[in-house]
Amino acid sequence: MRKPIIVGNWKMNKTCAETVAFIEAIEPVLHDGATFGVGAPFTALKDATATAKNLVIAAENCHYKDNGAYTGEVSVPMLQELGVTHVIIGHSERRQMFNENDEELNLKVKRLIEAEMTPIFCIGETEAQYDAGETENVIRTQLAAGLKDLCPKCVAKMVIAYEPIWAIGTGKSATKEIAQNCCHIVRDQIRVMYGDEAADSVRVQYGGSVKPENIKEYMACEDIDGALIGGASLKVDSFTKIIEAVK
């Protein structure tokens, strides 16, 4: 049985004070039906881990080197020291705006696994790729490169977020049929690369304009084990409704 995992991605939002207030408001509504978490900006992570009891705290990026001349970067040991357990890797905004590629993302995933942290590895096609019928190929290619040379047992513990770029922050969510079909392709590619145990254990999230009104229909899909949520994770009210909807 795969335990669902719902993670908010705050992006470049929330000060330390806002982070603490949000977590204090959310903690009482958490329940055992799923793992719940938020990806917070680096500056708020220390306050976030100090405030959270059951909420998982994720970073939104990391470097694959432990230290050195990498101005502006943050390493895995630095995040570990703060009590961070999960890291979002390869979000489409990082791929598109900061030119992150699958080879570099593969190094980040490897470093996180070595540190026994959980990567939330993001993949997904652009609107042009979707229109050209390239979705399956993009999913398989990004997974083949980004999750190259890992051990099957490590992959089993990971989270993969399928996020069609055309659905992120656009209000244009994928139908449950598209989301299920793509998350099934994700799982199948893991089966091809790492076998049945990894494929049946890895948790696959859908992301892209998930909100209180549509979370239930995604969660009812066989291959969808949770969601990565941007906009609707920023307000206590909407995140609470999502948490309650997955009871």
Nearer Cβ to ligand PEP (138/154): 138
Would you say 228 and 163 are in contact if contact means Cβ atoms under 8 Å apart?
A: yes
* Contact range with ligand PEP by CB under 6 A, out of 58-66, 98-106, 162-170, 239-247: 162-170
Using CB under 6 A as the binding rule, whether residue 169 contacts ligand PEP is answered as: yes
Q: At closest approach, how far in Å is the CB of 10 from ligand PEP? A: 9
Q: Are strands 35-39 and 86-89 parallel, antiparallel or unpaired?
A: unpaired
Instruction: Tell me, by CB under 6 A, how many residues bind ligand PEP.
Output: 13
CA-CA-CA-CA torsion sign (14, 206, 164, 64) = positive
Nearer Cβ to ligand PEP (109/229): 229
Nearer Cβ to ligand PEP (198/208): 208
**Catalytic annotation present for 91:** yes
- The one catalytic residue in 63, 86, 91, 93 is 91
Any idea what the Cα angle at residue 176 is, between residues 172 and 177, rounded to 5°?
115
Using CB under 6 A as the binding rule, whether residue 207 contacts ligand PEP is answered as: yes
Phi, psi dihedral angles at 60 (to 5 degrees): -100, 0
**Catalytic annotation present for 163:** yes
The H or E element spanning position 197 is helix 196-201
User: What six digits make up the tokens of 231?
Assistant: 């906009």
Which residues ranging from 2 to 31 are in contact with ligand PEP (CB under 6 A)? 9
Would you say 151 and 145 are in contact if contact means Cβ atoms under 8 Å apart?
A: no
Using CB under 6 A as the binding rule, whether residue 41 contacts ligand PEP is answered as: no
Would you say 63 and 70 are in contact if contact means Cβ atoms under 8 Å apart?
A: yes
Which residues are marked as active site?
A: 91, 163
The residues of the shown chain that bind ligand PEP, judged by CB under 6 A, are 9, 163, 168-169, 207-210, 228-232
